[in-house]
Amino acid sequence: MTRTAWGGAALAAILLGLAVVGPWIAPDPLVMDNLATGALLPPSSAHLLGTDQHSRDVFSRLAHGATVSLTVAVVAVLVALVIGATVGVIAGAGGTVLAASLRRITDLALALPRIVVLMVLLAAIGTLPPLTFAMVIGATGWPAIARLVRGETLRLRRAEYVVAARALGAPSPRVLWREVLPGALAPALVAATLGVADAILLEAGLSFLGLGMVSPAPSWGGMILESRDYLHVAPWLLLVPVTALVAATSSATLMGEALRRFLQPDTP
Amino acid sequence: MTPLLEISNLRVMFPARDAEPVVPVDDVTFSLARGELVALVGESGCGKSLTGLSIPGLLPTGAVLGPATSVRYDGTELSALDERALRPFRGQRIAMIFQDPMASLNPVMRVGAQIGEAITAHRRVSRAEVDRRVVDLLAEVGIADPAARARSYPHQLSGGMRQRVMIAIALAGEPGLLIADEPTTALDVTVQAQILELLDRLRVARGMAVLLITHDLGIVAGRADRVLVMYAGRIVETAPTGPLFARPDHPYTAGLFASIPRLGGTGERLSPIPGNVPRPDQWPDGCRFHPRCPVRVDKCARERPLLLAIERDDHRAACWVAQGNTA
Amino acid sequence: MTPLLEVEGLVKHYQSGGFLSRPKPPVRAVDGVSFAVAPGETLGLVGESGSGKSTIGRNVLRLEVPTAGTVRFEGVDLSTVPAGDLRALRRRMQIIFQDPFGSLNPRRSIGASVAEGLEIHRILPKQEIAGRVAELLGEVGLDPAYASRYPHEFSGGQRQRIGIARALAVEPRFVVCDEPVSALDVSVQAQVINLLLDLRDRRNLAYLFIAHDLAVVRQIAHRVAVMYLGTIVELGSARTVIEAPRHPYTQALVSAVPDPDPGSGRSRIVLTGEPPSPSAPPPGCPFEPRCFHPLKDNRCRAERPLLRPVAEQDVACHYAEVIATPPAVPVP
């Protein structure tokens, strides 16, 4: 593995560790500890990353938030991948009418700005539990993947080894599944990994705007939202979640890049 | 008369991090006289393309020339020159054409403009003069209706015409040496014949030397003055065309002839050379052809044979057995 | 003896544009071709780019649907065969490709690629497949231990052998060889040609051998069909067509073949001009614009000659009775 991959993996490991182990070792994020004197304390041995305005331990909020943010991002990407790959393969390999209509639908969906769509949707629906929220984000991410998969499918259909499989008598579903799809998925996987970064930021952004998830469990976006009023006295309230976001996004991007170099070595 | 091009001990190396460097061109020596057409013949992986590229200094990044390497063009040592010093040579005195014209031509530029670029790259010429010269060049390479054709884009032309445009670009600088790296491999047979005829005609008309790099022995017959046969990074035989075809001395050359299908057809099976061409990182010791050679002896696996004359002075082969030196 | 393959009036046009842009004239890749191949026979199909020879290969195997004409395999008209039966029929008619790099799935081991046909048609129970794959690899001259390796670990010639093994796995009677040696080095070409000859003898295979190199075709074909711009211009035994061609294009083709024999004294015909585009063929004889036949006249421009018997072969030329003397210099 290259340095890129190692860097991304290291960051991911730290964050995953935070997300998985953190909630166990960190104190309850909801506990408002010592309301009177425990608020807005800077990082110390008692509170690793300080406390927020409600005397809640920032470290535990970060850790719990990690679980939420990362799960949402991964689920969103998986949803986008499944929908996008299916649509993409059919659009690339199906009969003329079906393929053409799917292509138009994909293009239309791509034309709508994702964040606006999400904002409108969530404003209308109201707040959601995290998993549903994740699926909504994923449901807006499929067009980009579909377009990639469709392009690869079209290209691979003409590949000689695909013709060879047909010449051997393979029925079309088998040809698609065994010959075309594995090749078409490669760029989609890369896009998906990079898409995790997008999803993390989307979730954070939407939470910051107050849309999307309701949970007593904090999310990083929510933490940023709440930090606004206290910046001048407790800057760590902003710095901590932002650093975490940067780390998570970088990790996903680095690993996506490493994956791309591995799966698609000929692309620049 | 001094040769136009003199290559001595050409060695191209690719240093590897934790291993022996890979040496795809290993101690190649030959020369070209003015107006001569010399064919450098070999199969893929033998190093002939790299040999051609090393002359105008167009080797890929990472390539290093051996310390004893000398590439002299018209008396000037090219291997010692840096990019800036080499530039006046490229295009103007040494020109190169490649196998796939579509890859070498700019797809979004009209061909006339591309030829024009080649003209103005080395000298200042007025617009009108450039246009005139472009039309002249296109006519010289046999393109009908050259004035109109100059305004075409590469994709509007056939493969043969694109190759002619490449040749026109190469000629724009009035080079003394043209290196043609597999110029007809991607073309149809009838077009191939046209292009080869054109190269020959141009050579005679301009007194230009041509180094023709190819894997096809057939196109060499009747056109080249001399032939150099390359195998695994080394020249294994060199001779004027007639004597080489009449009586190849090196077993590899003989093997190549035996494995080429003939139009005449003998009704007998071809006799292919057994085995595969070795990769540059896996070259055999001694004579590199010995694992596949039908006449090898013990000495062949131990010592590398030298390129020596056998019967005629100008016909040399690197083979212990052919030299009668098998002790 | 019933021919194994009978092609009559095969036509294949490719249409482009036509949805949002104005439809362009169709590319007439194959414009009326008829021939037959007997069991165990090798028919060479020779032509340059734009001649339509590769298109014929795919249409004969029904990998594409012809625009018109009939293809009969083992007496059965392929256009009337339902999809399921067609798949079963595919066992008996196979294809090997030109590009040794593109014709194998890079993500699959070569053993799995060779076994593909065995699995699709359920020819053997699972446990016997590996053994059969090993046999096949041995038959094409490869070490059976290589079965677990991937295509990129092999040379061009070796990959070509793998492709041949894959085609042989289903026990075909007829194989379309689509320029199988064009992308290979000279010494490897000879190895693969010999392999194809051995297999033909051993398994009594019929080949439709598509190539642009007449010398290669001479090695392997019993009969040769020469194609120009989508039609057959000459058809006869390999020897006759190459040694005594009657169509001017065949003459030019024969003379253009590079001959590694500088003293052969073969006269060189150099054709002028370019092959015309298959989307705008001339109305009469397709070769007329470049033809150097002394009797060439207006009839050639207006009327397309049909393939008809002249001397020992079939020729599509109005004046084939008179053999054109090749011009010593290019025709202006």
DSSP-derived secondary structure for B66-110: -TT-EEEETTEE-TT--HHHHTTTBTTTEEEE-S-HHHHS-TTS-
Q: Do C97 and A163 touch (CB under 8 A)?
A: yes
**pLDDT for B124:** 85
C110 touches chain A (CB under 8 A): no
C105, closest residue in chain A (CA to CA): A161
pLDDT digits (tens, 9 = 90+) for C311-323: 889 999 888 888 7
Instruction: Determine the distance in angstroms separating the CA of C159 from the nearest CA of chain A, rounded to an integer.
Output: 12
**Chain A residues interacting with chain C (CB cutoff of 8 angstroms):** 159-161, 163-171, 174, 179, 182-183
The mean pLDDT value for C116-125 works out to 89
- Mean of all residue pLDDT scores within chain A: 81
Q: Could you give the count of Cα atoms lying within 13 Å of A248 in the half-sphere of its Cβ?
A: 35
pLDDT digits (tens, 9 = 90+) for C209-242: 999 888 899 999 999 999 998 999 999 999 999 9
Q: Considering only CA atoms, which of B29, B35, B38, B33 is closest in space to residue B3?
A: B33
pLDDT digits (tens, 9 = 90+) for B134-178: 999 999 998 888 999 899 999 888 888 899 999 999 999 889 999
B255, closest residue in chain C (CA to CA): C187
Place of tokens 């052919």: B322
Q: Which chains reach chain A with 3 or more Cβ–Cβ distances below 8 angstroms?
A: C
**pLDDT for B240:** 94
Q: Per-residue confidence at A268, pLDDT binned at 50, 70, 90?
A: low
Q: Mapped to the 3 state alphabet, what secondary structure does chain C carry?
A: CCCCEEEEEEEEEECCCCCCCCCCCCEEEEEEEEEEECCCCEEEEECCCCCCHHHHHHHHCCCCCCCEEEEEECCEEHHHCCHHHHHHHHHHEEEECCCCCCCCCCCCCHHHHHHHHHHHCCCCCHHHHHHHHHHHHHHCCCCHHHHHCCHHHCCHHHHHHHHHHHHHCCCCCEEEEECCCCCCCHHHHHHHHHHHHHHHHHHCCEEEEEECCHHHHHHHCCEEEEEECCEEEEEEEHHHHHHCCCCHHHHHHHHHCCCCCCCCCCCCCCCCCCCCCCCCCCCCCCCHHHCCCCCCCHHHHHCCCCCEEECCEEECCCCCCCCCCCCCCCCC
B246, closest residue in chain C (CA to CA): C261
pLDDT digits (tens, 9 = 90+) for C147-196: 999 998 888 889 999 999 999 999 999 999 999 998 888 888 889 999 99
Q: Which chains reach chain B with 3 or more Cβ–Cβ distances below 8 angstroms?
A: C
pLDDT digits (tens, 9 = 90+) for A221-246: 878 888 888 888 888 888 888 888 88
B256 touches chain C (CB under 8 A): yes
Q: Considering only CA atoms, which of B286, B287, B224 is closest in space to residue B252?
A: B287
B261 touches chain C (CB under 8 A): yes
Q: Considering only CA atoms, which of A60, A49, A32 is closest in space to residue A234?
A: A49
Residue A42 has pLDDT above 70, yes or no: yes
Range in A41-50, A61-70, A124-133, B156-165 with the lowest mean pLDDT: A41-50
Residue A161: which of C61, C63, C102 has the nearest Cβ?
C102
Tell me which amino acid residue C289 is: P
C62 touches chain A (CB under 8 A): no
Q: Per-residue confidence at C44, pLDDT binned at 50, 70, 90?
A: very high
Burial bucket for residue B62 (CB in 10 Å: 0-12, 13-18, 19+): exposed
Distance CA A152, CA A149 (A): 5
The mean pLDDT value for C240-245 works out to 90
Distance CA C212, CA C45 (A): 8
Q: Per-residue confidence at C330, pLDDT binned at 50, 70, 90?
A: very low
Q: Do C260 and B220 touch (CB under 8 A)?
A: yes
The mean pLDDT value for C67-73 works out to 93
**pLDDT for C259:** 72
pLDDT digits (tens, 9 = 90+) for B4-29: 999 999 999 998 878 888 899 999 99
Q: Per-residue confidence at C332, pLDDT binned at 50, 70, 90?
A: very low
Tell me which amino acid residue C87 is: R
Chain A and chain C share a number of CB contacts under 8 A equal to 51
Q: Which residues of C touch B160 (CB under 8 A)?
A: 274
The mean pLDDT value for A122-131 works out to 81
Instruction: Determine the distance in angstroms separating the CA of A262 from the nearest CA of chain C, rounded to an integer.
Output: 13
Tell me which amino acid residue B119 is: I
ipTM: 0.79
pTM of the model: 0.79
- Do the beta carbons of residue C143 and residue C137 sit within 8 Å? yes
Best to test chain B binding among C274, C277, C287 (most B CBs inside 10 Å): C274
Distance CA B92, CA B89 (A): 5
Percent of chain A with pLDDT over 90: 5
Judged by DSSP in three states, B18 sits in coil
Q: Do A167 and C105 touch (CB under 8 A)?
A: no
**pLDDT for B316:** 93
Q: Per-residue confidence at A30, pLDDT binned at 50, 70, 90?
A: low
Chain B and chain C share a number of CB contacts under 8 A equal to 130
- Mean of all residue pLDDT scores within chain B: 89
Residue A167: which of C61, C107, C121 has the nearest Cβ?
C61
Residue C155: which of B257, B265, B276 has the nearest Cβ?
B276
Distance CA B114, CA B119 (A): 9
Distance CA A250, CA A229 (A): 27
User: Count of H helices and E strands in chain A?
Assistant: 11, 0
Q: Do A167 and C94 touch (CB under 8 A)?
A: yes
Residue A36 has pLDDT above 70, yes or no: no
pLDDT digits (tens, 9 = 90+) for B41-89: 998 889 999 999 999 988 888 888 989 999 999 988 998 888 888 888 8
pLDDT digits (tens, 9 = 90+) for C264-279: 555 666 676 667 777 7
The mean pLDDT value for A167-175 works out to 84
Task: Report the Cα C250 to chain-centroid distance in Å.
Answer: 16
Distance CA B237, CA B248 (A): 8
- Mean of all residue pLDDT scores within chain C: 86
Q: Do C63 and A179 touch (CB under 8 A)?
A: no
Q: Per-residue confidence at C329, pLDDT binned at 50, 70, 90?
A: very low
Helices A58-93 and A130-139: crossing angle in degrees, nearest 10, is: 40
Instruction: Determine the distance in angstroms separating the CA of C74 from the nearest CA of chain B, rounded to an integer.
Output: 29
Range in A27-41, A47-61, A248-262, B244-258 with the lowest mean pLDDT: A27-41
